[in-house]
C-alpha cells in the first residue's frame, strides 16, 4: 500500500466504475487518508469500497468494518427518529414543542413548533451562556439550558444551522414521547432490526475499530479573524459554544456521550443504509420503517434563504426540509434539486434521492476545512450521477 495510492478494497458494479475512479482519485489528488463509500440503488448495494489508513500515523489499515465519527451526517438518523414518531401519530410536527416538553415554553418559546426544530428555525442555534464540552455531555443539563434560553431570532422566520443543539432539541422530544433518547430509539426501531452498523456515540469495547479523526489544515490567525468578522452572535454560539474538532472527537468522553447532532459512528455502508430508508420511500431491507407519505414530508422545503450560520459559505441560498437539506441550486446531493441529505463537518455525507432510488454514504477521517460540499464528497456525487 503506497502512501498516496493505497489499495482500495470491496465491491463496485461495473456500471459504477466512475465512482471507484473518483474514490481512488480522492487519495491521489485530494489528500484522502482513510475513507469508505457505499451506494445503494433500489435497496441493492452497488458500491461498497474502502481504503487507506485508520490513523494519522498510518499504522492501521482502514478495514471493511472500520467506523468513524460522522459529525452532522448523524442528523439524518436523528430526524428519522422524530419522523417515525410523527408517522405513528405520536408527534404532531405542527404542534408546539411545549406540548411534549412543557419546560420549553420559557423565554418566549411557547409558539415554537416541532417543525422549527427539524428545520433549524427554532432560533436556538447555540446557547447564550458559556457551555463546555463536559456540560454538552450532560444530557439533562444541556436540555434544561435549551428549555430556559431565549431564541436568537424570531422562530420560524429563517434558518440558522443548529450545529450541536439540533440533536438535543429533536432528541428531547423523542425522549419525552418514547421514553428513549435517540440512540436507543434508533437501535430499537431501525438499526437493530435491519442490522445497520451505526450508533449515536460509540459503545464500550468498540473503540478498537474506530478511525482516528485528523484535523484539517490549520487556519492562520488572520484568516480566523476574517471568518469571525462575518459571523453573527447566533453563528458564533452555534459554531464555538462549545468548540469541538478532531482532537475532542477522538476522546473517550466524546465517544461515550450521546450527541445526536454530531457523534454518530458508523461505516459508509451503514450511512447508505440509513439514508436508503429515505431513498426507498420508507422501506429498506424488506422492512417498512416509514410510510411513503412520511418519507416525502422529510424533504418538505421550509423556505430558501441565506442561513444565518452557514449562509456565507454558499454561492446560492439553501433550503432545509424537515431534518435534511435539499440539493437545491448548489447541487449538494446531485442534479435533482429535490434530492436531499446531510453533510458532516470535515467531509462525510449521507445522500437520498427517492426519485432515482439512490442513496450514498461517504465516511473519512482526514477532515477538510468544509462544513459542507467537501470536494472529495462532490467528486463522488458527480461520479455517481454520471453513472446513473
Provide the domain limits for residue 253: 8-73+197-387
Give percent above pLDDT 70 in the chain: 96
Element (H, E) at 52: strand 44-52
Q: Are residues 223 and 127 in the same domain?
A: no
Q: Residue 157 and residue 153: Cα distance in Å, rounded?
A: 8
Q: Are residues 220 and 354 in the same domain?
A: yes
**Mean local confidence (pLDDT), 226-243:** 87
CA dihedral sign of residues 290, 293, 296, 302:
negative
Residue 192 lies in a domain: no
> Which pLDDT tens digit goes with each residue over 141-193?
999 999 999 999 999 999 999 999 999 999 999 999 999 999 999 999 999 99
CATH value at residue 204: 3.40.710.10
Query: What's residue 117's pLDDT?
Result: 98
332 Cβ contact partners less than 8 Å away, ≥ 6 residues apart: 325, 341, 343, 372, 373, 381
Average pLDDT of the chain is: 95
Q: Residue 139 and residue 152: Cα distance in Å, rounded?
A: 22
153 exposure class (CB count in 10 Å sphere: 0-12, 13-18, 19+): middle
Phi, psi of 325 (to 5 degrees): -95, 140
Q: Are residues 114 and 60 in the same domain?
A: no
Give percent above pLDDT 90 in the chain: 91
**Residue 41 above 70 pLDDT?**
yes
Residue 316 lies in a domain: yes
> Which pLDDT tens digit goes with each residue over 359-380?
999 999 999 988 789 999 999 9
Q: Are residues 263 and 361 in the same domain?
A: yes
**Residue 26 above 70 pLDDT?**
yes
Q: Are residues 222 and 293 in the same domain?
A: yes
Q: Are residues 371 and 238 in the same domain?
A: yes
Q: Are residues 168 and 282 in the same domain?
A: no
Element (H, E) at 352: strand 349-353
Better-scored residue on pLDDT, 262 or 228: 262
**Mean local confidence (pLDDT), 311-338:** 92
Q: Are residues 211 and 342 in the same domain?
A: yes
CA dihedral (202, 207, 210, 212) in degrees, to 10, reads 110
118 grid coordinates = 427539524
Instruction: List the strands of the sheet with 198-200, edge to edge.
Output: 68-69, 264-266, 198-200
> Which pLDDT tens digit goes with each residue over 268-304?
999 999 999 999 999 999 999 999 999 999 999 999 9
Residue 188 lies in a domain: no
Closest CA to 43 of 281, 312, 315, 335: 281
Please tell me whether residue 213 adopts helix, strand or coil conformation.
Answer: coil
Residue 367 lies in a domain: yes
Q: Which residues pair with 210 in a beta bridge?
A: 67
Q: Which residues form the catalytic set?
A: 72
Query: What's residue 2's pLDDT?
Result: 53
* Alpha-helical segments (H) within 217-334: 221-229, 233-240, 246-249, 252-256, 268-279, 292-298
**Mean local confidence (pLDDT), 134-139:** 98
> Which pLDDT tens digit goes with each residue over 255-271?
999 999 999 999 999 99
**Residue 57 above 60 pLDDT?**
yes
* Count of domains observed in the chain: 2
214 grid coordinates = 485528523
Q: Residue 99 and residue 114: Cα distance in Å, rounded?
A: 9
**Residue whose entry in the numeric block shows the C-alpha cell 458532516:** 344
**Last residue in a domain, options 183, 212, 236:** 183
Q: Are residues 169 and 298 in the same domain?
A: no
Residue 381 lies in a domain: yes
**Mean local confidence (pLDDT), 230-238:** 91
How many Cα neighbours within 13 Å face the side chain of 255? 23
Q: Are residues 231 and 288 in the same domain?
A: yes
Beta carbons of 41 and 33 less than 8 angstroms apart? no
Label residue 217 by pLDDT band (50, 70, 90). Answer: confident
Q: Are residues 232 and 342 in the same domain?
A: yes
**Last residue in a domain, options 150, 183, 216:** 183
Query: What's residue 371's pLDDT?
Result: 79
Label residue 314 by pLDDT band (50, 70, 90). Answer: confident
**Last residue in a domain, options 183, 206, 240:** 183
Better-scored residue on pLDDT, 374 or 312: 374
Q: Are residues 227 and 96 in the same domain?
A: no
**Residue 339 above 90 pLDDT?**
yes
Residue 1 lies in a domain: no
Amino acid at each position: 500500500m503506497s502512501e498516496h495510492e493505497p489499495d482500495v478494497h470491496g465491491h463496485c458494479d461495473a456500471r459504477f466504475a466512475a465512482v471507484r475512479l473518483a474514490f481512488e482519485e480522492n487519495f491521489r489528488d485530494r489528500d484522502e487518508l482513510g475513507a469508505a463509500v457505499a451506494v445503494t440503488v433500489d435497496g441493492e448495494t452497488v458500491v461498497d469500497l474502502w481504503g487507506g489508513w485508520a490513523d494519522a500515523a498510518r499504522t492501521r489499515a482502514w478495514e471493511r468494518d472500520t467506523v468513524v465519527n460522522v459529525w452532522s451526517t448523524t442528523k439524518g438518523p436523528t430526524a428519522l427518529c422524530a419522523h417515525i414518531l410523527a408517522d405513528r401519530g405520536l408527534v404532531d410536527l405542527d404542534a408546539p414543542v411545549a406540548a411534549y416538553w412543557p419546560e420549553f415554553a420559557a423565554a418566549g418559546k411557547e409558539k415554537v413548533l416541532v417543525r422549527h426544530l427539524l428545520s433549524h428555525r427554532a432560533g436556538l442555534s447555540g446557547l447564550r451562556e458559556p457551555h463546555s464540552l463536559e456540560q454538552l455531555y450532560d444530557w439533562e443539563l444541556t436540555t434544561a439550558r435549551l428549555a430556559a434560553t431565549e431564541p436568537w431570532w424570531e422562530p420560524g422566520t429563517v434558518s440558522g444551522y443548529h450545529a450541536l443543539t439540533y440533536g438535543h432539541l429533536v432528541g428531547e422530544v423523542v425522549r419525552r414521547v418514547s421514553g428513549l433518547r435517540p440512540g436507543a430509539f434508533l437501535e430499537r426501531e431501525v438499526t437493530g432490526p435491519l442490522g445497520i452498523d451505526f450508533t449515536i456515540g460509540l459503545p464500550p469495547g468498540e473503540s478498537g475499530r474506530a478511525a482516528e479523526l485528523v484535523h484539517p489544515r490549520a487556519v492562520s490567525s488572520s484568516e480566523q479573524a476574517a471568518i469571525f468578522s462575518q459571523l453573527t452572535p447566533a453563528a458564533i454560539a452555534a459554531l464555538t459554544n462549545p468548540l469541538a474538532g478532531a482532537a475532542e472527537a477522538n476522546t473517550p468522553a466524546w465517544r461515550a456521550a450521546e450527541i445526536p447532532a454530531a457523534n454518530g459512528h458508523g461505516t459508509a455502508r451503514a450511512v447508505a443504509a440509513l439514508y436508503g430508508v429515505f431513498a426507498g420511500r420508507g422501506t429498506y431491507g424488506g422492512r417498512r420503517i416509514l410510510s411513503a407519505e412520511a418519507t416525502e414530508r422529510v424533504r418538505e422545503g421550509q423556505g430558501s434563504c441565506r442561513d444565518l450560520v452557514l449562509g456565507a459559505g454558499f454561492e446560492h441560498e439553501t433550503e432545509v426540509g424537515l431534518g435534511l437539506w435539499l440539493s437545491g441550486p448548489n447541487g449538494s446531493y446531485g442534479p435533482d434539486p429535490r434530492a436531499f441529505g446531510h453533510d458532516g463537518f470535515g467531509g462525510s455525507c449521507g445522500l437520498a434521492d427517492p426519485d432515482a432510488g439512490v442513496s450514498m454514504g461517504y465516511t473519512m477521517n482526514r477532515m477538510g476545512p468544509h462544513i459542507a460540499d467537501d470536494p472529495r464528497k462532490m467528486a463522488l456525487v458527480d461520479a455517481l450521477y454520471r453513472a446513473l
